[in-house]
Amino acid sequence: MKQLEEVENMSLETLETIAGDQSVKIPPTLDGIIADTLTAAALSEKGGTGYRKRTPIARYCIVGSAAAAAAGLAIILTLGNSPRDTFDDPAIAYAQLEKTFSLMSSKINAGIEIASEAKPVIEKTNEAINKINGK
Amino acid sequence: MKRIVLLITAILLTAGVSAQSGKGIYNKYSDAKDVSAVYISPAMLRLVGKLPDMEIGDGEVNLTPIIKAMSGFYLISSENKSVSSAIRDDVRKLVKSGDYEMMMEVKEDGQTVHIYTLSKDDTITNLVFLAYEPEECTFICIEGNMSKSELEKAIASAISEYDR
């Protein structure tokens, strides 16, 4: 079969000769294909973008589908990243929680100790202020 | 089309916000180099809650009500300077993004400890603990619906046991 470029480069005489050649069989659907192509081209010129105007129901369907897809994506993002349990044994998990609460309480205790060290200073300051105020 | 774009943007933003959570920080750093990570799922916490009272120090402190109210436990610890710094920055972002309240700040021997809570009425829904030194850091996030009074009682008991 000849390529499109080859056909374009052919002279009119050659094209006439080929057209007159009765031995070449023309596909029976060729007329229909040409007609469809021309109609589609005409419609796209007439309609600008060529998009079909959607009915309100179709629009709702599209928005609904997009919402469902987005919700699905959000669920996948949320659940898909669920970490795996570090421990299989509740007793070990228990020990870890014990250790954690001990650590937290020790730090809180350190804070309370620091605060209690400041208590006498605060009391002395209060006394001094009270003396000044004559209480 | 605009509606679809807005919808998708909203969903993605929600997903982005959910990344700024204890879970998000855990997922980000749990597989990093020089990081120790512990996650206890709600199912495991339910099993732990069925065990007898926990012991802290030499005495017994009943943490069962708190454990039963917990729905997630995340711990990240690192001795890598750059990872520690990144974790600290992410925790700062986390507490800034929500209505977290600073419960305590302790600075001692070059270490800074911050405890933040996220509360709703008399219930603590999130507790974030961050102990930070330039070379290392420990991040703990406890999620759940913990009673404030129960938690305070448990911490107070733990402190008195620690004092002994």
Rg for chain A, CA atoms, rounded: 43
> B15 lies in a domain?
no
Name the residue among B42, B48, B7, B10 with its Cα closest to residue B23: B42
Residue B105 and residue B114 in contact, taking contact as beta carbons nearer than 8 Å: yes
The reply to whether residue B23 touches residue A83, judged by beta carbons under 8 angstroms, is yes
DSSP labels, B5-55: HHHHHHHHHHHHHHHSSHHHHHHHHTTSTTEEEEEE-HHHHHHHHTSPPPE
- Averaged confidence pLDDT in chain B: 81
pLDDT at B76: 95
The reply to whether residue A97 touches residue B48, judged by beta carbons under 8 angstroms, is yes
Three-state secondary structure readout of B64-123: HHHHHHEEEEEEEEECCHHHHHHHHHHHHHHHHHCCCEEEEEEEECCEEEEEEEEEECCE
> B1 lies in a domain?
no
Which range marks the domain in which residue B118 is found? 20-163
Which of the four pLDDT bands, split at 50, 70 and 90, describes residue B10?
Answer: low
> B11 lies in a domain?
no
Interface test with A, best of B17, B18, B29, B41 (most A CBs within 10 A): B41
pLDDT at B158: 59
The larger pLDDT score, comparing residue B30 to residue A69, is at B30
Residue A34 has pLDDT above 90, yes or no: no
Domain count, chain B: 1
Segment B13-35 shows an average pLDDT of 78
Residue B75 and residue A99 in contact, taking contact as beta carbons nearer than 8 Å: no
> B67 lies in a domain?
yes
Read off the DSSP letter of residue A53: P
> B89 lies in a domain?
yes
pLDDT at B26: 94
> Is B109 in CB contact (< 8 Å) with chain A?
no
Segment A116-133 shows an average pLDDT of 82
pLDDT at B24: 92
> Is B119 in CB contact (< 8 Å) with chain A?
no
**Domains of chain A, residue spans:** 1-51, 54-82, 87-135
User: How much of chain B, in percent, has pLDDT values that exceed 90?
Assistant: 45
Residue B116 and residue B127 in contact, taking contact as beta carbons nearer than 8 Å: yes
Q: Which chain A residues touch B3 with a CB distance below 8 Å?
A: 63
Q: What would the pLDDT profile of B31-74 be if each residue is shown by its tens digit?
A: 998 999 999 999 999 888 777 665 555 555 567 778 888 999 99
- ipTM value, please give it: 0.76
In angstroms, the CA B18 to CA B58 distance is 40
Segment B136-158 shows an average pLDDT of 84
- Averaged confidence pLDDT in chain A: 77
In angstroms, the CA A22 to CA A34 distance is 21
A vs B: CB pairs below 8 A: 126
Residue A101 has pLDDT above 70, yes or no: yes
The larger pLDDT score, comparing residue A96 to residue A16, is at A96
